[in-house]
Chains A and B, each alone.
Chain A
Amino acid sequence: MTEFWFNHFNVYQQKGIVRPFAGHYAINVARAHALGKFEDLVLASAKHPAMLYYLDQWLSVSPQPARAGQSSRGLNENYARELMELHTLGVHGGYTQEDVRELARVLTGWTVAPRTQDGFQFVMRLHESGTKTIMGQSIPSSVQFVGMKEGEQAIRFLANHPATAQRISLRLAQYFVADEPPKALVDRMAKTFLSTGGDIYQVMQVILNSADFWDPANKLYRTPYDFACGSLRALNAGQDRAKWLQAFGYAAVAGHGIQNWQTPDGYAFNASTWLTPEALTRRIDFALSIARNVPERSDLYPYLSDSTANAVMKQGPSQRMGFVLGSSELVFK
């Protein structure tokens, strides 16, 4: 779940000074809220320096005339756009360019606070006053909700929107069930999402209790990162530094370095992206190499088809684990 959410609210370590914040972000945003309320997750991400830096929100200030001595920077719509397009509603979620701009105005003043513990602050003098309208909602809705509360209100609104429920449910189902999950399942998830106020735990229950989740026909191809982690696990190599480097080196060369995707859409996780001929041969190279001379694990054999097991057993004992790793049964999950 942590991996899924980090990727959904992706940040890129090589942009600006994001790097020192990325680990903190993974633990305190993606993992801390992984099974909580979706709106809390979006808010935590919105206020984290990794995201504030990554999507330039920290630079976005009110375009109202600058006071003496202030630089006249202006609105930066980068974060507001991705918040709607990727984090919540989705590109066909019913918002317009005008809504993006209004959301950016609402969020002016949200910036980093380098010397505080959580790294976030709201600066009223950078905030654009006045009423904004996002998808028909007036913000602030009343005088008590002026300032930072405007942004919180907007984010809660977006996080609980039906388009968001549908989009998050679809992506979760694609991640945990199948590249093209059954629509009925996604609809049930979205319904639960809306009726529970975006309770991710409850939405996941719908997946786990569905027949679709357990249906062997619903296979997911392991991404290079999945495959690197899965291989280390199958080889019990969690403590082996050389094998770690080899595994994550493989993932990086395959185009799936750890938390290293540049754009806010995050890594793709479907088979059409990763199951390509040349990439498959490099995966085999890696499997045969990392597992060479590792003792075989007969406890895995019951999971293999007869045809796979036959091919594995034709190899010498020192080669067998490599063939197990590279088998259809283990390149899919």
Chain B
Amino acid sequence: MSMNALRMLPNRRQAIVQSLQLGAFALPALSALADSAKPEGRMVFVFLRGAYDGLSMLVPHGDAHYAQIRPNIGIPKPDGSPKTSLALDDLFGLHPACADLLPLWQQGLLSAIPCAGSPDTTRSHFDAQYHWETGKPGSSSPSAGWLNVLSGMVGDGIGLHALGVGESSPRILSGPRPVQLVGNGLLATRPGTMAESKTREAVLQLYAGDQKMAKAMLEGANNRMSTAAMLKTPSMPSSSEQQAANNGAGSPQGLALDAKHLGILMRQNRSLQLGFLSSGGWDTHINQGNVTGLLANNFTNLSNALIQLRMAFNEPNDLVIMASEFGRTCAENGTRGTDHGHGNVMWLMGNAVLGGRHHGRWDGLAKDKLNEGRDLPVHHDFRSVFAQALVRCLGFRQDKMAEVFPGYRWDSALDGLFKA
């Protein structure tokens, strides 16, 4: 087979899948993707709202300061038992509640950037999340979300290319481009009154005098029925039922269900290249626990969600990135929790990831190495991490990057994030 024929394969497959399932038609690629050797990958961003405690998930057990500054909430050095951290290497370990992720690390599919984040020093969740979602640290002016902007620059540059599951209208996806938003938990699986053909007909008659409304109605009903049909699963734990009622970011438990829905929908519609998921419940100021407790429970649920994503996103250039708006204080506070910090651990998962190791700068937990003597510093701008990912996994053109992240800088210290 010639090189040309090889290159065409993904496109043809994509076109066939689309025409079979959604009646969509393939358009020639224009957009900001590089012309040659298009990786055709997909990227999913998992946003942990509220600032998760990265130092409990990626445990720097090899740093003597860790146990000193976290006498009650620290995760002990690995001793092989599930009551301690699980050794990744001499320096880092994994929280035992994340045991399911250990094989991914060992197979080189999972990596961490321990000191990443936003260059802006705000400790406000509100401002920091806004900066992450607009891609403009320091600016609170109204702005489109960067995934929305990006969705207009990938694929054919026209149709739907981004999907959010969970939140009704996350900032990161809002803006002028059309994106697909699906409700959290079981909300997504319910076609509502539109499932009854009699009601559907009656509502269409109600709009008989208003063509525009009738058209919108018909389109909406079709969307909802097809989403619900794709997600239809015979049995679902009843606890997820409650998650459906939560507005905004769901709970960590709901995340696995949302992750599953995201995987199904992005498998069915291959023009969706960008996915977004979020969960709340990470703002652990009080009694966060250690190997067990509040945060440990969250990590169990988070691991379940990541495993779901691993199953759905396992093609050569698929990538999952996980992060929070900022980190938490390195030392525990007076209420056995942690307060708002600065830098934090970002995670990358996928076949292209140069995994089984951490990336970027790590200077340890000595006080003089910390931001303001208390937080992990931000050695790597989150936009630089995403920029590397977009180039490697989506084949996004580097010279177009400033349209997504104005003012970002290419960080060559992260050039080894992915397999060559």
Q: In the docked arrangement, what's the CA distance between A264 and B224, Å?
A: 32
**Does A288 touch B at the CB level, under 8 Å?**
yes
Asked whether any CB of chain A lies closer than 8 Å to the CB of B242, the reply is no
Whether B202 and A255, one on each chain, are in contact in the complex, defined by CB atoms closer than 8 angstroms, is: no
Establish whether residues B216 and A255, one from each chain, have CB atoms under 8 Å apart when the complex forms: no
Q: Can you offer 30 A-B residue contacts whose CB atoms are under 8 A?
A: A12-B126, A81-B141, A253-B183, A253-B247, A255-B168, A257-B247, A263-B140, A264-B140, A265-B142, A276-B220, A277-B218, A278-B220, A280-B216, A280-B217, A281-B192, A281-B193, A281-B220, A281-B221, A281-B223, A284-B203, A288-B199, A310-B205, A311-B206, A312-B206, A314-B202, A314-B205, A326-B203, A326-B206, A327-B206, A328-B209
A51 to B: closest C-beta gap in Å: 14
A305, B209: Cβ atoms under 8 Å?
yes
B208 adjacent to chain A (CB < 8 Å):
yes
Contact with A along B198-229 (1 / 0, CB 8 A): 01001101111110010011111101100000
Distance in Å from the Cβ of B261 to the closest Cβ of chain A?
15
Establish whether residues B208 and A311, one from each chain, have CB atoms under 8 Å apart when the complex forms.
yes
Please state if A282 and B192 are interface contacts (CB–CB under 8 Å): yes
CA A249 to CA B169, docked complex, whole Å: 15
User: When A282-B192, A288-B199, A328-B213 are in contact, do A311 and B169 touch as well, CB less than 8 Å?
Assistant: no
Whether, in the assembled complex, B68 has its beta carbon less than 8 Å from a beta carbon of chain A, the answer is no
Residues of A within 8 A of B142 (CB): 263-265
Give A168-209 as 1s and 0s: 1 = Cβ < 8 Å from B's Cβ atoms: 000000000000000000000000000000000000000000
**Given A311-B208, A323-B202, A327-B206, A277 and B126 contact (CB-CB distance below 8 Å):** no
Instruction: List, in ascending order, chain B residues with CB within 8 A of A138's CB.
Output: none
A78-B202 in contact given A12-B126, A253-B247, A311-B208 (Cβ < 8 Å): no
B residues contacting the other copy or chain, number (CB 8 A): 36
Is A85 in the interface zone, CB < 8 Å from B? yes
Say whether B171 faces chain A, with CB atoms less than 8 Å apart.
Answer: yes
Given the interface contacts A279-B220, A284-B217, A285-B192, does A328 sit within 8 Å of B140 by beta carbon?
Answer: no
**Within the assembled complex, what's the spacing in Å between the Cα atoms of A307 and B213?**
14
Expressed in whole angstroms, the minimum distance between the Cβ of B201 and any Cβ of chain A is 10
| Distance of B373 from chain A, by nearest CB (Å) | 15
What 15 additional pairs, Cβ within 8 angstroms, besides A255-B168, A279-B220, A280-B220? Answer: A14-B126, A262-B126, A263-B130, A263-B140, A263-B142, A275-B216, A276-B220, A277-B223, A278-B220, A280-B216, A284-B192, A284-B194, A284-B217, A310-B205, A323-B203
Distance of B186 from chain A, by nearest CB (Å) = 13
Residue from B141, B183, B224 having most chain A Cβ neighbours under 10 A: B141
Residues of A within 8 A of B106 (CB): none
Q: Which residues of A contact B124 (CB under 8 A)?
A: 15-16
Q: Could you list which residues of chain B lie within 8 angstroms of chain A, going by C-beta atoms?
A: 124, 126-127, 130, 140-142, 168-169, 171, 181, 183, 187, 192-194, 199, 202-203, 205-210, 213, 216-221, 223-224, 245, 247
Please give, as numbers and ranges, the residues of chain A lying within 8 Å of B207 by CB-CB distance: 328
Task: Chain A residues near B206: list those with CB within 8 A.
Answer: 308, 311-312, 323, 326-328
Q: How far is the CA of A82 from the CA of B140 in the complex (A)?
A: 9
Shortest distance from the beta carbon of B392 to any chain A beta carbon, whole Å: 32
Distance between A314 CB and nearest chain B CB, rounded to angstroms:
7
Pair B168/A328 contact, Cβ less than 8 Å = no
- A196 CB → nearest B CB, Å: 30
Please determine whether B217 and A315 come into contact, CB atoms closer than 8 angstroms. Answer: no
A305 to B207, CA, bound (A): 10
Chain A residue nearest to B187 in the complex (CB): A253
A283-329 contacts to B, CB under 8 A, are 284-285, 288-289, 305-308, 310-312, 314-315, 323, 326-328
CB contacts (< 8 Å) of A253 on chain B: these are: 168, 183, 187, 247
A276 touches B192 (CB 8 A): no
Structural contact, B220 and A311, CB atoms closer than 8 A: no
Q: What is the 8 Å Cβ interface bit string for chain A, positions 245-261, against chain B (1 contact, 0 not)? A: 00001001111010000
Q: Report the Cα distance A305→B126, complex, angstroms.
A: 46
Which residues of B sit under 8 angstroms from A275, Cβ to Cβ?
A: 216
| Closest chain B residue to A323, Cβ basis | B206
* CB–CB B216/A288 < 8 A: no
A residues apposed to B, CB below 8 Å: 12, 14-16, 78, 81-82, 85, 249, 252-255, 257, 262-265, 275-282, 284-285, 288-289, 305-308, 310-312, 314-315, 323, 326-328, 331
Residue of A nearest to B127 (CB): A15
Q: How far is the CA of A16 from the CA of B171 in the complex (A)?
A: 19
Q: How far is the CB of A81 from chain B (nearest CB, A)?
A: 7
Please give me the residue from chain B that is nearest to A18 by CB atom: B126
Tell me the bound Cα distance from A14 to B183 in angstroms.
Answer: 22
CB-CB under 8 A from B205, the residues of chain A are: 310-311, 314
Q: Tell me the smallest distance from the CB of A175 to a CB of chain B, in Å.
A: 18
Known: A264-B140, A288-B193. A281 touches B213 (CB 8 A): no
A82 to B142, CA, bound (A): 10
Contact A311 B202 (CB under 8 A): yes
Chain B residues, CB < 8 A from A81: 141
Residues on the B chain within 8 Å of A257, using CB = 247
Q: Is A307 in contact with B208, judged by CB distance below 8 angstroms?
A: yes
Nearest-CB distance from B149 to chain A (Å)?
Answer: 17
From A262, A282, A312, B130 is in contact (CB under 8 Å) with A262
Query: Is the CB–CB distance between B213 and A280 below 8 Å?
Result: yes
Would you call A254 and B130 a contact (CB within 8 A)? no
Interface centre among B206, B210, B223 (most CB of A within 10 A): B206
List of B residues within 8 angstroms of A249 by Cβ: 245
Complex CA gap A249/B183 in Å reads 14
Residues on A with beta carbons closer than 8 Å to the beta carbon of B209: 305-308, 328
Nearest CB to that of A14 among chain B residues? B126
Inter-chain contacts of A265 with B (CB < 8 A): 142
The CA-CA distance from A310 to B208 in the complex, in Å, is: 10
Q: Which residue of B lies closest to A271 (CB)?
A: B212
Contacts of B216 in A (CB 8 A): 275-277, 280
Determine how close the nearest CB of chain B comes to the CB of A12; give it in whole angstroms: 7
> Top 6 nearest A-B pairs by Cβ distance?
A277-B220, A307-B209, A281-B220, A277-B219, A285-B192, A255-B169
